[in-house]
């Protein structure tokens, strides 16, 4: 009897003091828009599919000339197309998308052995990772584990990082984007029991916290380390406006990356880092009211600078995870910022009209401004993270019921 009373008491106090789930008044109009977006995106991807050469991966499209750019499987974006197809298939149950995703996975599989890129996380986890979540299969797990091993070969213990870009032997270049490749390593440790993947991910994230960020929590794009000693040789920004500027997508990769780090480790320092990055982005005087950032927060021609819708998609998706880990006041700020982004990306300014944009969903992204490549175009990763963010918003809504 005493034991039963104690159990009852513990249960009652747990109910009383347990953290209340985040209560949010979900925007029903946005939810309807999201459902419409999934149907429209399904149709757009069938158009893209029709125009895709049999052995190629979509890269981008120029509306002015009607020209597509395609890539081989070794391009860093080769996993986004099948990942988007699988995520859309989950929403629309359109088997055409699923069959196309399986076709692309077959073309992509050989990249599991690619040790010349740090982008295997993007390439293999956004594709095979989603395939395994959709239809758990031992062969997908094997492909992902092999990919994680390939990625790990680029880790240098003297630096404490995975090498991003191959360069001269005296350089060891690490870019903030690399934070996005770590999720696959956490997955690999969970599935294989081999903690070396986990340790590499944590070491890389710690070194990056130390060296990539400025006092205001904006990040450099590239840090060049001495490969023997790990000493920092240079801090630069290759895809942004200048070395000291805040390239918009780089900030979004950091936000998403440290959110994943907190999810996977529960180490509070990663949560603090993600919150600081979110604050840099959301409180930035150069963030427009629609929250679709200029391609660089310090672009010289603001307010006429081009926007980068891909940075907005990534930010929305990251915020729709990060809100789960913070107090109600911050959660409200994150979810309402993500809502603003999703509403604006769903508007005719950013969401392409049916049958246009070569079949891509989102328009007005900037890939590499200094190179003058992929400027004001659709990009596969803008679509991928837009779809992911919408799914996360639906999950938030479902959790409110």
Q: Residues interacting with ligand GLY, by CB under 6 A?
A: 177, 239, 249, 367
Q: Between 160 and 367, whose beta carbon lies closer to ligand GLY?
A: 367
Q: Which of 42, 119, 132, 383 is labelled catalytic?
A: 119
Q: Between 83 and 367, whose beta carbon lies closer to ligand GLY?
A: 367
Q: How many CA atoms lie within 13 A of 150 on its CB side?
A: 23
Report how far Cα 321 is from the mean position of its chain's Cα atoms: 11
Report how far Cα 170 is from the mean position of its chain's Cα atoms: 30
Q: Which of 42, 94, 132, 177 is labelled catalytic?
A: 177
SS3 171: coil
Residue 376 among the catalytic residues = no
Give residues with Cβ within 8 angstroms of 127, minimum separation 6: 78, 79, 80, 82, 83, 86, 104, 105, 108
Instruction: Kindly state the smallest distance separating residue 41's Cβ from ligand GLY, in Å.
Output: 21
Instruction: Kindly state the smallest distance separating residue 310's Cβ from ligand GLY, in Å.
Output: 7
Whole-number Å distance between alpha carbons of 149 and 136:
20
Q: Give the Å distances, CA to CA, from 187 to 103, 183, 184, 197.
A: 24, 6, 5, 9
Run of H or E including 224: strand 222-225
Q: Which two tokens stand for residue 93?
A: 């149950």
Residue 177 among the catalytic residues = yes
Instruction: Kindly state the smallest distance separating residue 295's Cβ from ligand GLY, in Å.
Output: 11
Q: Between 22 and 125, whose beta carbon lies closer to ligand GLY?
A: 125
Instruction: Kindly state the smallest distance separating residue 119's Cβ from ligand GLY, in Å.
Output: 8
Q: Between 149 and 249, whose beta carbon lies closer to ligand GLY?
A: 249
Q: Between 22 and 172, whose beta carbon lies closer to ligand GLY?
A: 172
Q: Give the Å distances, CA to CA, from 207 to 126, 162, 177, 210.
A: 24, 10, 14, 5
Q: Give the Å distances, CA to CA, from 373 to 221, 239, 305.
A: 17, 10, 16
What residue spans of 74-182 are helical by DSSP H?
80-92, 95-108, 120, 130-134, 138-152
Instruction: Kindly state the smallest distance separating residue 239's Cβ from ligand GLY, in Å.
Output: 6
Whole-number Å distance between alpha carbons of 61 and 366:
12
Q: Between 227 and 367, whose beta carbon lies closer to ligand GLY?
A: 367
Note whether 220 and 236 are within 8 A (CB).
yes
Instruction: Kindly state the smallest distance separating residue 175's Cβ from ligand GLY, in Å.
Output: 6
Instruction: Kindly state the smallest distance separating residue 367's Cβ from ligand GLY, in Å.
Output: 6
Whole-number Å distance between alpha carbons of 251 and 281:
7
In angstroms, the first-to-last Cα distance of the chain is 36
Q: Between 140 and 256, whose beta carbon lies closer to ligand GLY?
A: 256
- Whats the size of the chain, residue-wise? 401
Nearest C-alpha neighbor of 340 from the set 62, 42, 5, 30: 30
| 3-state percent helix, strand, coil for the chain, nearest multiple of 5 | 55, 10, 35
Q: Which two tokens stand for residue 335?
A: 């979810």
Instruction: Kindly state the smallest distance separating residue 11's Cβ from ligand GLY, in Å.
Output: 49
Q: Between 240 and 359, whose beta carbon lies closer to ligand GLY?
A: 240
Report how far Cα 117 is from the mean position of its chain's Cα atoms: 17
Q: Which two tokens stand for residue 42?
A: 């399904």
**Which residues are designated catalytic?**
119, 177
């Amino acid at each position: 009897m005493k034991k039963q009373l104690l159990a009852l008491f513990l249960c009652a106090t747990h109910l009383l003091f347990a953290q209340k789930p985040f209560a949010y008044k979900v925007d029903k109009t946005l939810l309807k828009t999201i459902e419409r977006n999934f149907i429209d995106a399904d149709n757009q991807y069938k158009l893209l599919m029709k125009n895709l050469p049999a052995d190629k991966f979509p890269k981008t499209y120029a509306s002015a000339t009607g020209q597509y750019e395609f890539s081989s499987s070794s391009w860093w974006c080769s996993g986004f197309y099948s990942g988007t197809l699988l995520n859309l298939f989950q929403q629309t149950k359109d088997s055409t998308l699923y069959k196309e995703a399986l076709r692309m996975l077959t073309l992509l599989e050989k990249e599991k052995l690619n040790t010349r890129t740090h982008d295997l996380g993007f390439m293999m986890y956004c594709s095979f990772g989603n395939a395994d979540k959709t239809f758990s299969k031992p062969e997908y797990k094997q492909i992902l584990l092999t990919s994680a091993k390939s990625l790990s070969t680029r880790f240098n213990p003297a630096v404490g990082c995975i090498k991003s870009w191959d360069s001269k032997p005296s350089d060891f270049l690490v870019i903030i984007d690399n934070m996005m490749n770590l999720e696959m390593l956490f997955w690999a440790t969970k599935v294989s029991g081999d903690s070396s993947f986990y340790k590499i991910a944590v070491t890389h994230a710690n070194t990056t916290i130390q060296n990539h960020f400025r006092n205001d929590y904006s990040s450099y794009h590239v840090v060049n380390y001495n490969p023997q000693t790990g000493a920092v040789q240079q801090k630069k920004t290759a895809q942004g406006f200048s070395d000291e500027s805040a390239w918009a997508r780089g900030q979004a990769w950091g936000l998403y990356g440290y959110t994943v780090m907190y999810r996977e480790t529960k180490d509070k320092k990663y949560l603090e880092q993600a919150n600081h990055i979110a604050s840099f982005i959301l409180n930035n005087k150069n963030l427009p009211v629609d929250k679709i950032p200029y391609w660089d927060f310090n672009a010289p021609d603001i307010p006429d600078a081009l926007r980068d819708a891909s940075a907005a998609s990534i930010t929305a998706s990251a915020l729709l995870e990060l809100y789960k880990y913070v107090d109600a006041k911050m959660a409200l700020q994150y979810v309402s910022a993500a809502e603003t982004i999703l509403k604006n990306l769903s508007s005719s300014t950013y969401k392409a009209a049916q049958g246009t944009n070569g079949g891509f969903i989102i328009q007005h992204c900037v890939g590499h401004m200094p190179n003058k490549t992929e400027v004001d175009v659709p990009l596969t990763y803008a679509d991928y993270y837009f779809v992911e963010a919408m799914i996360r918003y639906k999950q938030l809504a479902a959790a409110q019921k």
